[in-house]
Structure formats: structure tokens, C-alpha cells
Amino acid sequence: MICSAVRKKGENGNDVDLEIKFNVEDLRRVLELGDSDDDPTIISERLCKGLWCRMGFTGHVNGKMGKTMFSHAYKFMIHCVVHGLSHRKGAHDETSDYIMNIITCLVLNRPYNVSKVIFE
């Protein structure tokens, strides 16, 4: 549960603090992600790396995973996921482990608990 307070102007022009609480179920409902608590958040490394090779990955498998190292067919999808779900302020060329787990599940059409990853 995340608790926060938002200040807004009341009817009389004075500041009023509103308490806001939300949890994973609220996030899942509002974003319409369609995942559940039973869906995994960690995919096996072997499955991910095998898929990267099939996606045309040209870099070292145990090194940094940059989106430029994938075939053109997957670069834009990786670009969209990195910019949409990454918490970075820069270095959008590199992908982190949880982003590659999401991409693996998207490509393989497998369930993934995206709302838990976003919430955490």
C-alpha cells in the first residue's frame, strides 16, 4: 500500500490535504494490465538469452544488453518498453534485467506480473 497526501484548494480557497492510498490491485485496474499475482516476475536467464539470440542479438550474451545489438525488427519494441517502463533519466540504449524479462514475455506471449514490477 502506498499512502500519500495531495494538497488542493477547497471551496473557501483554503488549502486542503487529501489522503490517497493505492495498492497493486488499483494499479492493475486503472492501467488494465490483465496480469495477476500468480504471474511470474522473474524469467529464467537461459530462456531470456536463448530468445535474444533468436531476436538477432549480436553482442556478448553475458555483457550489457543494448537495443542497438538487436535486429531491426525488435529495436523499436525494445525502445518503447525501455522508455515506457524504465526508471532511468539517461542511458536509454541499455536494458536492465527486468526490462528484458518483460520483453521476453511479450515476444513469447507469456504471462508476466507487470503491475508488481511497476509498483515496486
For the chain, the domain total comes to 1
Range of the domain at 51: 35-119
**β-strands 65-66, 15-22 pairing:** unpaired
* Residue 107 parent element (H or E): helix 97-108
> Collapsing DSSP states into helix, strand and coil, what is residue 6?
strand
Residue numbers of the chain with a pLDDT score lower than 70:
63, 88-93
pTM: 0.72
Determine the Cα–Cα distance for residues 89 and 111; give it in Å rounded to an integer: 28
Q: Which residue has the cell 545489438?
A: 69
Reported as type and span, the H/E element at residue 104 is helix 97-108
Q: What is the pLDDT of residue 90?
A: 62
**pLDDT value of residue 56:** 84
| Residue whose entry in the numeric block shows the C-alpha cell 553475458 | 62
Q: How far is CA 106 from the centre of its chain?
A: 11
24 belongs to a structural domain: no
Q: Is residue 52, in this structure, part of any structural domain at all?
A: yes
Give the Cα-Cα-Cα angle 71, 32, 81 (nearest 5 degrees).
20
Q: Is residue 80 part of a domain?
A: yes
On whether residue 16 sits in a domain, the answer given is no
The pLDDT, as a whole number, for residue 52 is: 86
